[in-house]
Amino acid sequence: MADEESTVNGKADEAEPDVPRVVRATELSEEAADRVEGELVVLQRSGAEQINAERVKLEQSGARTIDARSIRMDQSGTLTMKGERVVLENGTAGLVSAGSVRMVRSQTILINARKAQMEGSRALILIGKAEGDVQATFTVPTAAAFGAALGLALAIISAVLRYVFSRR
């Protein structure tokens, strides 16, 4: 696996085609990398497959997975992120797993957090305590109620269909 050290300005040298780019950098601007590692990682108009750091800041950027103690995203997106503190502004995320999450005008599929503060944001599934303008489609109680109702409806439909087709 190719391992590239960043230069003083944080820009990485060009990688060979088909060789994964591992970048140890503090800042990437208008760059793409397979994996970015560092104490503080800042991406501006950049993309990365995987980011591992103590602190991460994304501005108009994207990443497949982020694992950091503190994550701040502005007009950015990620598939999955895991951290102690997460702030998402005007962004999108698939799975957010954190101790504390703050979302402003953002969307996620699933949030698993001890505390989630939401302002004009939406989550399909929310696990944990939420504050603010919460727009969760499913919380744990609503998901359980939905599952029970769906199960009951399917049982009734199944019984009716068995009755109709057994009489023929």
Q: Tens digit of pLDDT for each residue in 108-143?
A: 999 999 999 999 998 888 888 888 877 667 677 877
Which pLDDT score, from 0 to 100, does residue 104 have? 95
- The two structure tokens encoding residue 159: 């019984």
The predicted structure's pLDDT at residue 141: 80
DSSP 8: T
Q: In this structure, are 82 and 97 located in the same domain? A: yes
What tokens appear for 71 in the block?
């994550």
Same domain, 125 and 151: no
> Cα(18)–Cα(117) distance, rounded to whole angstroms?
41
Residues 163, 110 within the same domain:
no
Cα–Cα separations (whole angstroms), residue 83 to 13, 132, 163: 29, 21, 53
Same domain, 56 and 84: yes
Write down the pLDDT at residue 12: 45
On whether both 113 and 78 belong to a single domain, the answer is: yes
The string of pLDDT tens digits covering residues 17-71 is 565 556 666 787 888 888 888 889 999 999 999 999 999 999 999 999 999 999 9
Q: 40-47: which pairs have CB atoms within 8 A and are 24 or more residues apart?
A: 41/68, 43/76
Range of the domain at 68: 4-134
Question: Looking at the 3D structure of the chain, how many domains does it have?
Answer: 2
